[in-house]
Every structure is written in C-alpha cells, then in structure tokens.
A and B are shown apart, each in its own frame.
Chain A
Amino acid sequence: DTEVTQTPKHLVMGMTNKKSLKCEQHMGHRAMYWYKQKAKKPPELMFVYSYEKLSINESVPSRFSPECPNSSLLNLHLHALQPEDSALYLCASSQELAPIYEQYFGPGTRLTVT
C-alpha cells in the first residue's frame, strides 16, 4: 500500500473559522511533509516532520499550525486565514528525510477562504 490519504477533499472556510486538514499514511514512513500549491504554480514546501518532530518550517505564518501526533498522522490546523491562502494543500511522506527516498503525495485538500 503506497497511499497517502487526505481529508477533507474540499474545504470552504471563513476568515474567522478554525479548521484542520488531516493526512494519513500506513507505509511506516518517518518523514511527512505539507506543501501549498496555488493555481497554475508548483508546490511549495511548508513544513517537514521527521520522527514526529518538526524538522523544517519554511517561515510559514503562524495562522498555519502543523501537528504530528503519531508516525502515521499529520495535521494542519488553520486559523484566521486570508483569501490568499486559498490553494491546494498537499501532504507527502517518505521513508526517511533524505532525497534518496521517494516522496509519496496525497491527492490534496482544496481550500477556499472566503
């Protein structure tokens, strides 16, 4: 099983809402990633977790709060977002945090902030 699942598929939220995105993998991978992809743009790395510890934060605004409660699960908590945060949010995982290990991507959550 090489599947990364993401829920929900679509999310519409107001600027005062609090919501969470969820990502799950059961491949035993120890590195998990959040990417943001704006329309017609490439994915941009936001956060990386390795062995459930935050390893990389690409200077993401604090209204995005990642969480890795266990090795299979990755959450992205959203609060007080702006309309420009509307994008496709992709989760990925790899066996370890090193380029030799393939990153497996989920299908993404399409977020619209109104």
Chain B
Amino acid sequence: AQSVTQPDIHITVSEGASLELRCNYSYGATPYLFWYVQSPGQGLQLLLKYFSGDTLVQGIKGFEAEFKRSQSSFNLRKPSVHWSDAAEYFCAVATGTGFQKLVFGTGTRLLVSP
C-alpha cells in the first residue's frame, strides 16, 4: 500500500527565512500527493496537490512543492516564512481502491522564531 514518511518531527525556522519540509513516498507508479496544514485547534486545510504533469506545484499561502520521482520525494517549500505559518504540516497520499482514501504522514511541527 502507498505510504508517506515525514522524517522531521519538529523544525524551527526564523521568521523571514526559507523553509523546506520533507516528505518521502512509497509507491511504484505516480502517486496522488498532498500537503495539508493544521493550525492548533483547527481542522486541516489543503495547501497543494500533485497528480501528474509539471513537477513543481504552486499552492496557497506562498507554498510550493516539487515532485522528484528519482528521490521518491515531495518536499514543501516557502521562500520566506511568516510567524502565522507556525502549525502542523501533513503530507498525504491517496490510496486504496480508486485512490479514495487519504493516508497521512506523521506530520512536522513548524515553529517560527522571531
């Protein structure tokens, strides 16, 4: 079954610095990949998704992600982090019959220092 791994539990970034959150997937074919963000006490919000085509995907809030088949990765990036970006970030993959189910990675908590 498809799965995703997020190797970083916590990351601290200074405000204004660039950000990269790592996500690795396991699947032989092209997976359906997603990045979600969850602020404290909130539900999840979709930042971006990749199904096929251009490997650099633009999302909301200034985020982008790059699909790299050779590295089985789908890393999330932002050029300049704002304090409001502090949250939990989940990478996810669609799996199951018809790819109808989302399976989430363990998440990376982003802390933003002043």
A residues lining the B interface (CB < 8 Å): 4, 40-45, 48, 55-56, 58, 90, 92, 97-100, 102-103, 105-108
Q: Are B41 and A99 in contact (CB under 8 A)?
A: no
9-residue interface stretch from B20-28, B61-69, B71-79, B104-112: B104-112
Q: Is the CB of B46 within 8 A of A103?
A: yes
Most chain A beta-carbon contacts within 10 A, residue among B49, B103, B104, B106: B104
The one of B32, B90, B106 that contacts A99, using a Cβ cutoff of 8 Å: B32
Is A99 touching B43 in the complex (CB atoms < 8 A)? no
A27 to nearest B CB, angstroms? 14
Say yes or no: A103 contacts B96, CB within 8 Å: no
Q: Which of A41, A55, A90, A100 interacts with B43 by CB under 8 Å?
A: A90
Q: Is the CB of B100 within 8 A of A98?
A: yes
Interface range on chain B (Cβ under 8 Å from partner) = 20 to 34
Assess whether A42 is in contact with B90, with CB atoms less than 8 Å apart: yes
Give, as a whole number of angstroms, the nearest-CB distance from B61 to chain A. Answer: 15
Known A-B contacts: A97-B100, A105-B45, A106-B43. Give 13 more (CB < 8 A): A4-B43, A40-B107, A41-B106, A42-B90, A42-B105, A43-B44, A55-B100, A56-B100, A98-B98, A98-B100, A99-B51, A103-B46, A108-B43
User: Please, could you name 20 A-B residue pairs with CB atoms under 8 Å apart, sorted by A?
Assistant: A40-B107, A41-B106, A42-B104, A42-B106, A43-B44, A43-B104, A44-B104, A45-B103, A56-B96, A56-B101, A90-B43, A92-B43, A97-B100, A98-B98, A99-B100, A100-B51, A103-B44, A105-B44, A107-B41, A108-B43
- Nearest residue (CB) in B for A100 is B51
CB distance from A6 to the nearest CB of B (A): 8
Q: Which residues of A contact B104 (CB under 8 A)?
A: 42-44
With an 8 A cutoff between CB atoms, is B83 at the interface?
no
User: Do the beta carbons of B44 and A99 come within 8 Å of each other?
Assistant: no
Chain B residues with CB under 8 Å of A103's CB are: 44, 46, 102
Q: When chains A and B are docked, how far (Å) is the Cα of A105 from the Cα of B44?
A: 6
